[in-house]
Structure 1
Amino acid sequence: MLRIPATTAAFTLALALAPAAQAAEGLWSVYDSALKGAKYIDLTHAFAPDQPVWPGFDNAEFKSAAAGNPLPDYAKEGDEFSYDQHGFVATAYVLPTDQYGTQLDPPAHWDEFGATISDLPPTFAVRPLVLIDIHEKVAKDAGYAMTVDDVTAWEAKHGTVPEGSVVMVRSDWSKKWGDTAHFNDKPFPGVSLDALKFLHLERRILFHGHEPLDTDATPTLEGEAWLMHNHFTQAEGVANLDQVPEAGALITIGFAKPLGGTGGYARYVAIAPADWPHGVTIAEAPGAPLPKQTAPLRRGPDGVMRPTPQ
């Protein structure tokens, strides 16, 4: 029998009762009953100057932002903004590709008729999260690709994959993220073309996500080619899937929106039931005010701002 976590049941009940609630409340009751006490888990790598990237692309450059135009009695053209002189700092990012870090690939990445990042609808924002765990198989075979059997095994335990959901594939490959030189070495785990077709055509999911920076290790990247040319998106470079429940969670999907963008710097956050052992609650991390740094921020040789003891 499928066990529905208490917070998921509360969320479902709140959705059902929302139309009957006072008009002034709207969806606030859903937040109070289901989301306020939930656990939040970041599934995103912070992007940095030195990190894994597809071998055909270069790494990013971080540096201090400088005045592009003279500002009388404030800054000369070319002045780097500083706390001491101007009261603020800003950072310039030289990004050689939009396929960088944890990302969201739109169809335009491969298809000249495909939707770009700025074409994606706001309905991408919140979806049911499915976690299919293949990490034990990957531990025995680094080149293992998730199959339809892995999906149906998940369904035998949890029920049919929800339509419109996001399916994340746990391989634990993201634990190698710190090994920049070898993260992209083959073999690496993937998702089979048959599994992608089953998830999209039979289960009608929104998209899937994986921890490596490619969908599969086939010579033609057949899985990614099929997805993009059939106008589906995908997530790449996802982190912390070992902290997510297999069923019963939600996922929030955020991404930069460059006009006509062919890739998206993404932020994925899982929202798990309150009794889940991983993640933080809003009470633990309210977000306002944010914690003060342990030392003054200073820009390092790589251009990254970090607390630096004086």
Structure 2
Amino acid sequence: MFCSFVRLAAPIAAALLGIAPISTAFAEDPGLWKVYNETLKGAKYVDLTHTITPNIPVWAGFGKSRFGQAAAGTDLEGFAKKGDTFTYEKHGFNASTYDLATDQLGTQLDPPAHWAPEYAAIDEIPATYAVRPLVVINIEDKVKTDAGYHLQVADITGFEEKHGRIPEGSVVFVRSGWYKKWPDPSLSTTRPFPGVSLDALKFLHLERKILFHGHEPLDTDTTPTLEGEHWLMHNGFAQAEGVANLDKVPETGALVAIGYPKFGGGVGGYARYIAICPPDWQYGVTVGAVPEAPLQKFDKPLHFDDKAGMRIR
């Protein structure tokens, strides 16, 4: 709308002021708007993120998280008394409380400070992580015959023989199929599970110089010392855990957008990963294909369900 207005208004203004017409180049989409309109607007978007609820699988050492309904923390004259739970009916709005037992919950971005305090915490991850080329290496067939299979260097070089060299600075996600049983609580204690070998991690970071890797399970490997995660964190590398829907994105040619809360000094990060796939990809949604502004109106309103421990429809 703004660009159309400029195209119409510029010649009129030029005539009234007696100056030369504005350059046609100036009226084109400026900067990266052109990239959005010509490429990203028609792309397919696939969410690679699990929804956080009180009952999702989590390492037993962290305990249980709880969701609740926010209440007034002080007397609000004529509106609410201290301790009153906010409701749509009485106050016109609602709010939630989250007692999260850990920042290692659900789909994550692990900053290296999770293990190594001399390296970056979650709020110190640079903004340049936001959008990167996405590579997906599929080991699902091998996991079907060996539930504890870990990505090997041979899997990476085999991938490159088919698809070409992994781009420097890219994000590499390892598809294992583990996520398909989510949110079965037994996932947090089921052994063995698929992982990524230390040799593969070193190859990806030191030889291919990727930004970070990610995997579907909640741990990097099954060694007694978690050697892969230990090496990553103590060398300043981040990683993604609990990634979902990797069977719904292409192995090459997509981007990944990354978002996460910026907790000061956070040593874990609840993350959201969105794959941005080519327009002809079979999965995902395009801009404008679903309600966005305004967002969808549902037949059933949200309400707090004591049994579920959260708001549901």
TM-score norm. by structure 1 comes to 0.90
Pair 1:305-2:304 in alignment: no
Residue 56 of structure 1 aligns with which residue? 61
Correspondence list, 1:4-23, <5 A? 22=26
Partner of 1:153: 158
Deviation at 1:184, TM superposition (A): 3.2
Aligned counterparts of 2:131 and 2:41: Cα–Cα separation in 1: 15
Is the Cα–Cα contact under 8 Å of residues 46 and 248 in structure 2 kept in the other structure? yes
8 A Cα contact 2:59 2:188, kept in partner: no
Letter in 1 for 2:197: S
In the alignment, structure 2 segments of 5+ residues that lack a partner are 1-24
Residue in structure 2 matching 1:196, options 164, 177, 201: 201
CA distance in 1, matches of 2:286, 2:189: 34
C-alpha separation in 1, matches of 2:86 and 2:117: 40
Task: Write the deviation string for residues 149-184 of structure 1: whole angstroms up to 9, x where unpaired.
Answer: 111111111111001100000001001112212443
The aligned residue for residue 3 of structure 1 is none
The 5 Å alignment of 1:268-279 reads: 268-279=273-284
For 2:108, the equivalent position in structure 1 comes to 103
Q: How far is 1:283 from its partner?
A: 2.2
How far apart are the structure 2 equivalents of 1:269 and 1:204?
22
Indicate if the aligned counterparts of 1:184 and 1:213 stay in contact, CA closer than 8 A: no
Stretch moving more, 281-290 or 56-65:
281-290
Matched residue, 1:228: 233
**2-side partners of 1:184 and 1:150: how far apart?**
27
- Deviation, 1:55, is 2.0
Counterpart position of 1:8: none
Structure 2 residue matching 1:264: 3-state secondary structure: coil
SS at match of 2:186: coil
**Residue 182 and residue 26 in structure 1: after superposition, are their counterparts in 2 closer, same or farther (change >3 A)?**
closer
Q: Kindly provide the CA deviation profile for residues 157-212 of structure 1, in whole angstroms up to 9, marking residues without a partner as x.
A: 11110011000000010011122124431100000000000000011100000000
CA distance in 1, matches of 2:221, 2:207: 21
Instruction: Note the C-alpha offset of 1:70.
Output: 1.3
Corresponding residue number in structure 1 for 2:35: 30
Residue among 90, 94, 104 paired with 1:85: 90
Distance 2:61 2:170 in 1: 31
Q: How much is the aligned-residue C-alpha RMSD, in angstroms?
A: 1.1
Instruction: State the structure with more CA Rg.
Output: 2
SS at match of 1:263: coil
Q: Could you list the runs of 5+ residues in structure 1 that have no partner in the other structure? A: 1-20
Which of 268, 290, 293 is matched with 1:288 structurally?
293
8 Å Cα contact 2:60-2:188 kept in structure 1: no
Partner residue, 1:7: none
- Residue type of the alignment partner of 1:303: G
Q: 1:213 deviation in Å?
A: 0.2
Alignment partners' CA distance in 1, 2:139 and 2:33: 37
Letter in 1 for 2:309: G
Partners in 1 of 2:190 and 2:36 — Cα distance? 43
Q: How much does 1:303 deviate?
A: 3.3
Mapped partners of 1:218, 1:143: distance in 2: 11
Q: Distance in 1 between matches of 2:230 and 2:290?
A: 40
Q: Secondary structure at the match of 1:181?
A: helix
2: CA distance between counterparts of 1:69 and 1:256? Answer: 27
SS at match of 1:113: coil
Please give the alpha-carbon distance, in whole angstroms, between the structure 1 residues aligned to 2:184 and 2:29.
51
Give me the whole-angstrom Cα distance separating, in 1, the residues matched to 2:125 and 2:202: 21
For 2:103, what is the secondary structure of its paired residue?
coil
Q: More displaced, 203-212 or 294-303? A: 294-303
CA contact (8 A) 1:184 1:212 kept: no
Separation in 2, partners of 1:24, 1:295: 41
TM superposition shift of 1:24: 5.7
1:51/1:59 contact within 8 Å kept: no
Q: How many residues align?
A: 287
Structure 2 residue corresponding to 1:176, chosen from 181, 206, 214: 181
Q: Which amino acid aligns with 2:226?
A: L
After TM superposition, give the deviation of residue 285 of structure 1 in Å: 2.2
Structure 1 position 128 matched with structure 2 position 133: yes
How far apart are the structure 1 equivalents of 2:201 and 2:297? 44
3-state secondary structure, aligned to 2:259: strand
